[in-house]
Amino acid sequence: MDFVQDQTADGRPFRMLVVLDELTAIRGAPVHVRADNGPEMISKAVKAWCEESGTGALYIDPGSPWQNGIVESFNGRLRDELLSSEIFDTLAEARYLIDRWRLFYNHQRIQRALGKVTPAAFAATCPALPPLRLAALACAAAPPGMEGAATMQQLS
């Protein structure tokens, strides 16, 4: 997990929470979550979720993004393929275009690391696990059946 920040054309900042993995509501909780030591990643809500789901937290060393290379690589692709090439006039436009890119990334873009299939096709081959008690909350926030990707949160 990590956050990526950008802004609209008029300078309004926004952040995206990037989560690389299948949704816990579909696939069960991961053994651990790897994240940096930013304040959003050591928040009480994240810690509470980890405790309740039985997920451990692995925090990378400060100033060591290579320890979380998979998400940093994804963030680079997100920035290169979308954020650096688009000017978002509004937050609504940013949400729409980012969601379109997320759908493309998960359902059309072939990934060599997954055996030259899309993330959605790869996830479909994985056995589903019983959902967690928190699964209803995760499902309410995401469209049904959508794996991986970015959720937006406006900065205060």
**Burial (0-12, 13-18, 19+ Cβ within 10 Å), 154:** exposed
Radius of gyration, alpha carbons of the chain: 16
Q: How far apart are CA 154 and CA 8, in angstroms?
A: 11
Residue 84: its pLDDT value, please? 95
Residue 148 sits in a domain of what CATH number? 3.30.420
Structurally, how many domains does the chain consist of? Answer: 1
Low-confidence ranges of the chain (pLDDT < 70): 21-26, 40-42, 128-156
pLDDT (tens digit, 9 = 90+) per residue, 11-27? 999 998 887 766 666 67
Q: Rounded distance, CA 21 to CA 101, Å?
A: 16
Range of the domain at 97: 2-154
Quote the pLDDT of residue 123. Answer: 83
Q: Nearest CA to 109 among 149, 142, 153?
A: 149
Q: Give strand ranges (E) for 56-99.
A: 56-59
